[in-house]
A = this chain, B = another copy of it.
Amino acid sequence: MGGVNAVERVPKQDRSRATRQRLLEAAVACLAEHGWAGSTVSVVAERAGVSRGAAQHHFPTREDLFTAAVEYVAEERSTALRALFPQGAADRRAVVAALVDLYTGPLFRAALHLWVAACDEDQLRPRVTELEARVGRETHRIAVDLLGADESRPGARETVQGLLDMARGLGLANLLTDDGARRDRVVAQWGVLLEEALG
């Protein structure tokens, strides 16, 4: 009997996980497109094709849903980034371009809406602050690995941090208009400077 239950349980868990993923992906897309004010659990549930009750079973509050969504998609992006460069820093300029790409898509847009909403919402602020620190640390770790930066060298850590700050700023510059042409030139130039700085 235990065996039979186990067999039955697996597809149910799979279904539950698939539902959860659909909700998380819908939440990020919703946040990126409509901002915090336009993003509720109901809107996301409808977009994901899930009942409101099922959505609330997975994510009891709106804060739970949207912080989990930004974290989930950030993790997916981190995994994809590492997979792009399985051997580490073959070409640093390609790594710089890929890092900057992290900040110009819907994930950055969604995260930005969440950050700005967290300024004014007491329930959201501690959650987002904690999330930002966690995602920031992970992105820094990936950047250091892929760039092959030796953090024991004075300034190397701050060079990488500044690069990620620049990437974030480039994301912001891309918010209202397509900043791609200018961005490519900035990324090319700072790729050269970074190559020199990291040695």
Contact = CB atoms under 8 A, between A and B. Distances in A.
Given A166-B162, A168-B169, A176 B112 contact: no
Contacts of A37: 37, 120
A158 B96 CA distance: 15
Contacts of A118: 176
Contacts of A193: 159, 162, 193, 196-197
Contact of A169 (B115, B169, B176, B192): B169
Nearest to A170: B165
Using C-beta atoms within 8 Å of the partner chain, give the interface range for chain A: 35 or more
Nearest to A116: B116
A71 B66 CA distance: 33
A189 B119 contact: no
Contacts of A164: 169
Interface string A64-104: 00000000000000000000000000000000000000000
28 contacts: A35-B117, A35-B119, A37-B37, A37-B120, A112-B172, A113-B116, A118-B176, A125-B176, A128-B176, A129-B176, A129-B177, A133-B177, A136-B173, A155-B189, A159-B190, A159-B193, A161-B186, A162-B189, A165-B169, A165-B170, A166-B169, A168-B172, A168-B173, A169-B170, A169-B171, A169-B172, A172-B172, A193-B196
